[in-house]
Amino acid sequence: MNVSDTASIQDSLAASAVRLSSIHSRDLLRDTVRNGALKHTLVGCHFDFSRQRVDQQALAELIRFANCIDLPAKRDAMLTGARINRSENREVLHTALRQGAAGASESIKIEVAQIKRRLYKCVKAIRSCRWRGYTGKSIRDVIHIGIGGSHLGPELLVNALAHLPSSKKAPKIHFVANVDAQDINRALRGLSPETTLFIVVSKSFSTLETQVNANTARSWFLERTGNLNALGQHFLGVTNNLAAASEFGFRKENLFPIQDWVGGRFSLWSAVGLPIMLKIGCQAFEQLLEGARAADEHFAQSEIDRNIPVLAALLAIWNTSHLGCDSLAVLPYDKRLALLPDYLQQLEMESNGKSFDINGDPIDYRTMQVLWGGCGTNGQHAYHQLLHQGTSKFAADFILVGKGDTKNNEHHRWLLANGIAQGQAMTLGYIPIDQAEQFKRVRGNHPSTTIVLNSLRAEQIGCLLAIYEHKVFCQGVLWNINSFDQWGVELGKQMALPIFAQLSGEDASTQDPATRHLVDHCLGLNRTE
């Protein structure tokens, strides 16, 4: 990387941002050549970047920036198993889980295949009712216990793909993540231990929330059965710490490993995806992997100027660093994708919410936007007023499903019409002719991407999520940060330990005044008369 060249490109991008500040998006859309270069389709997923505030000149400068910092070479390094997670000295090979890593060793390929065969055997036994509980009854309910990357992806996909015909054979799946007892109590209400199976997912098997919830589940089961030996038939574990899981009471044959080179927020393709497999079946899960693999191949082989995740990342950098968009609204116009913003919050913000570069030096430029969002059309009657007429600068991703899965086509046409129209309004705006009605003015000119899935099938959503994964990696390279660690998350966990002890009666005098006051206040509320 030539530092002077990079600085020169940044100067050019800054000049382009100034130049484009006087050009409205409605004028950019008149350039048909530009529009064509910003539309791409892959595996039934159509990506339309034409509503972004970028012209051909700025786009060329962004692509030049990507080449200047050797993005293609760094992409290849990730895909071939280089230890790019420098702070933890780990490879980043989640693509190997879908056989999309060109450089994955033969031993890794064999390991992935072996684990998958075990998982599929387990899934088929449960779905066919051959897996029996301790009294001989089949499994009707599954409680999945995890948090973060061990939870968000599986819950998203279990909900998103529940309409598939293959999901009819699945037991009912309940998700527990929050350490708040209300969460697990809600999930357990009305269930029978005879017909309930627990899946406990924690890479380290030391995640506090998961440990607490798993212990509660274990106690619930033993209180109702009094049968310690039956635990093995009702608890499955997914972890990298097999020894700790065995001590908990899991049978060896019911433990499935998470590889060290898989980060939590990139892990739904691994054994972490067990509830997805249970919900949609092994064949549909293979289709999910196929969609992701197609995205991997596209990312690895396509030229920078036609590479969907690279373009998505470059435009995100442009919006954040040069246009001043501090937030990204993810707006799925399909109720089945309601949890997509939650999933992407962790994927993007936990990955790229960094203020130090890969060398540990402070960063003096913007990195990750605040990502938020919700389901259309509900949001139109809540926060879209701010989006259209507020003063905040933001970007948006609209996610649409072209073909509906209900018999009521009118509903789906209205859904599509609203999703397309909201993006149009954010782009074009509205200028009242009547001067007395200027309060109705909408500025428009907000950058957005519209993604249309042909239909909501496993292959399409697999492709979509893998594209977002690769976008995150590219953003990290462009910002010169490590997208695969999360030390800020660890700090809060560490600080909670002494506070828990103090809430349990230990001396809190060493705490800062604000923390000490809150501990004392909560202790007072919980004192018994």
Which pLDDT tens digit goes with each residue over 163-201?
999 999 999 999 999 999 999 999 999 999 999 999 999
- CATH number, domain of 439, equals 3.40.50.10490
Residue 3, pLDDT above cutoff 70: no
Residue 300, pLDDT above cutoff 90: yes
Residue 529, pLDDT above cutoff 70: no
- Output the pLDDT for position 526: 87
Q: What is the pTM of this model?
A: 0.96
Dist. CA 269–CA 188, nearest whole Å: 27
Q: Are residues 473 and 496 in the same domain?
A: no
In a domain, 62, yes or no: yes
Q: Are residues 181 and 259 in the same domain?
A: yes
* Count of structural domains, the chain: 3
User: 161 with 169: CB under 8 angstroms?
Assistant: no
User: Catalytic site residues?
Assistant: 350, 381, 493
Per-residue pLDDT tens digits for 86-132? 999 999 999 999 986 666 888 999 999 999 999 999 999 999 999 99
Dist. CA 382–CA 373, nearest whole Å: 11
Residue 437 is part of which domain span?
3-68+302-479
Identify which of 33, 39, 263, 236 has the alpha carbon closest to the alpha carbon of residue 144. 236
Say which amino acid occupies 261.
W
Rg over alpha carbons for the chain, rounded to the nearest Å, is 25
Q: Are residues 206 and 167 in the same domain?
A: yes
Q: What does each C-alpha distance from 261 to 92, 108, 116, 127 come to in angstroms? A: 5, 10, 16, 30
- Output the pLDDT for position 406: 82
Dist. CA 156–CA 347, nearest whole Å: 13
**Chain mean pLDDT for the chain:** 95
- Output the pLDDT for position 230: 93
- Helix (H) or strand (E) run with residue 332 in it: strand 327-333
Residues 6+ apart with CB under 8 A from 329: 372, 373, 387, 394, 395, 396, 397
In a domain, 195, yes or no: yes
- Output the pLDDT for position 256: 97
Residue 1, pLDDT above cutoff 60: no
In a domain, 317, yes or no: yes
Per DSSP, the chain holds a count of helices (H) and strands (E) of: 21, 11
Residues 6+ apart with CB under 8 A from 245: 200, 205, 237, 239, 255
Q: Are residues 266 and 317 in the same domain?
A: no
- Output the pLDDT for position 528: 63
Dist. CA 246–CA 449, nearest whole Å: 47
State which of 97-101, 462-466, 489-493 shows the largest mean pLDDT: 462-466
Per-residue pLDDT tens digits for 13-51? 999 999 999 999 999 999 999 999 999 999 999 999 999
- Output the pLDDT for position 102: 66
Q: Are residues 503 and 469 in the same domain?
A: no
- Output the pLDDT for position 377: 96
Domain closes at, from 222, 250, 285: 285
How many other CB atoms are there within 10 angstroms of residue 43's CB atom?
22
User: 467 with 295: CB under 8 angstroms?
Assistant: yes
- Output the pLDDT for position 206: 87
- Output the pLDDT for position 491: 87
Residue 85 sits at φ, ψ, to 5 deg, of: -80, 85
Per-residue pLDDT tens digits for 307-327? 999 999 999 999 999 999 999
